[in-house]
């Protein structure tokens, strides 16, 4: 993996970790569920990370039912 790609992956992981930490704190301290849009944002970041790590594009299945 190139240094640039490694830095991008690291950046994505830092952002995702921060978002998940904030959601976890909300669950623990305030006993509240995170906003659905926040969860979708983190999911989108995970998808972006998967695309970055994957050499080929994976066809996405729409998970909205």
The series of mean pLDDT values per 10 residues for the chain, 65 residues long, is: 82 88 86 84 86 65 58
> Chain centroid to CA 51: how far?
12
How is residue 18 written in tokens? 């921060």
59 falls within a domain: no
Whole-number pLDDT of residue 52: 80
pLDDT value for 55? 63
Q: Is residue 47 part of a domain?
A: yes
pLDDT given for residue 60 in this prediction: 58
Residue 19, number of CB atoms within 10 A of its CB:
16
Residue 6, pLDDT score: 83
Q: Tokens representing 61? A: 């299945």
Number of domains observed in the structure of the chain:
1
| Residue 25, domain member (yes or no) | yes
User: By residue range, what is the domain housing residue 24?
Assistant: 3-52
What is residue 62's predicted lDDT score, i.e. its pLDDT?
A: 61
């Amino acid at each position: 993996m190139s240094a640039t790609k490694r830095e991008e992956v690291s950046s994505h992981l830092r952002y995702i970790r921060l978002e998940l930490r904030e959601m976890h704190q909300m669950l623990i301290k305030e006993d509240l569920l995170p906003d659905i849009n926040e969860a979708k944002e983190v999911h989108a970041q995970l998808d972006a990370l998967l695309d970055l790590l994957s050499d080929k594009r994976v066809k996405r299945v729409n998970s909205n039912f």
